[in-house]
Amino acid sequence: MSGFDSNPFADPVDVNPFQDASVTQATNGGISSIREYNPFSSTELTDSTDTTIPISSVSSQPAILQTSVEQSSQVSAAAAAGQADLIKQQQELDRKAAELERKEQELQNRTAQNTGVKENNWPPLPKFSPVKPCFYQDFEQDIPEEYRKICRRMYYLWMYHSSTLFLNVLACLAYFTADAQYGVDFGLSILWFILFTPVSFVCWYRPVYKAFRSDSSFSFFFFFFVFFFQVAVYIIQTVGIPKWGNSGWIASISMIRVNLAVAVVMMVVAGFFTVNAILGVVLLKMVHSKYRRTGASFTKAQQEFSTDVLTNRTFQSTATSAARGAFGMN
d(CA 107, CA 49): 89
Look at residue 60 and tell me if it is in a domain.
no
Look at residue 174 and tell me if it is in a domain.
yes
In one letter, which amino acid is 151? C
Look at residue 23 and tell me if it is in a domain.
no
pLDDT: which is higher, 238 or 75: 238
Q: What pLDDT is stored for residue 78 in this prediction?
A: 78
Of 71-80, 207-216, 219-228, 266-275, give the lowest mean pLDDT range.
Answer: 71-80
Task: Give, in order, the Cα–Cα distances in Å from 72 to each of 20, 68, 88.
Answer: 72, 6, 24
Residue 261 has a CB neighbour count (10 Å cut-off) of 10
Look at residue 64 and tell me if it is in a domain.
no
Q: How confident is the model at residue 233 (pLDDT cuts 50, 70, 90)?
A: very high
Highest mean pLDDT: which range of 41-55, 138-152, 215-229, 272-286: 272-286
Hey, is 308 helix, strand or coil?
helix
Q: What pLDDT is stored for residue 33 in this prediction?
A: 47
Residue 172 has pLDDT above 90, yes or no: yes
Task: Give, in order, the Cα–Cα distances in Å from 226 to each of 13, 123, 164, 275.
Answer: 144, 22, 19, 19
Phi, psi of 122 (to 5 degrees): -135, 135
Q: What pLDDT is stored for residue 246 in this prediction?
A: 93
Q: Which domain holds residue 240?
A: 148-307
Q: How confident is the model at residue 272 (pLDDT cuts 50, 70, 90)?
A: very high
Residue 40 has pLDDT above 90, yes or no: no
The answer to whether the pTM exceeds 0.85 is no
Residues 159-178 have a mean pLDDT of 95
- Cα 107 to chain center, whole Å? 18
Residue 174 has a CB neighbour count (10 Å cut-off) of 20
Task: Give, in order, the Cα–Cα distances in Å from 189 to each of 166, 246, 269.
Answer: 8, 7, 12
Q: What pLDDT is stored for residue 268 in this prediction?
A: 96
Phi, psi of 160 (to 5 degrees): -65, -40
Residues 260-273 have a mean pLDDT of 95
Q: How many CA atoms lie within 13 A of 317 on its CB side?
A: 3
d(CA 153, CA 160): 10
d(CA 146, CA 43): 91
d(CA 45, CA 47): 5
Look at residue 76 and tell me if it is in a domain.
no
Residues 168-172 have a mean pLDDT of 96
One DSSP character per residue, 99-142 reads HHHHHHHHHHHHHHHHHS-----BS---TT-SSPP-B---HHHH
Give which of 205, 125, 212, 208 is closest to 161, Cα–Cα: 205
Look at residue 295 and tell me if it is in a domain.
yes
**Environment class of residue 116 by beta-carbon count within 10 Å: exposed (0-12), middle (13-18) or buried (19+)?**
exposed
Q: What angle do CA 273, 277, 283 make, to 5 degrees?
A: 135
Q: How confident is the model at residue 261 (pLDDT cuts 50, 70, 90)?
A: very high
Residues 147-176 have a mean pLDDT of 96
d(CA 201, CA 230): 11
d(CA 76, CA 63): 20
Look at residue 152 and tell me if it is in a domain.
yes
In one letter, which amino acid is 110? R
pLDDT digits (tens, 9 = 90+) for 182-202: 899 999 999 999 999 999 999
Phi, psi of 111 (to 5 degrees): -65, -40
Give me the number of domains the chain comprises. 1
Look at residue 22 and tell me if it is in a domain.
no
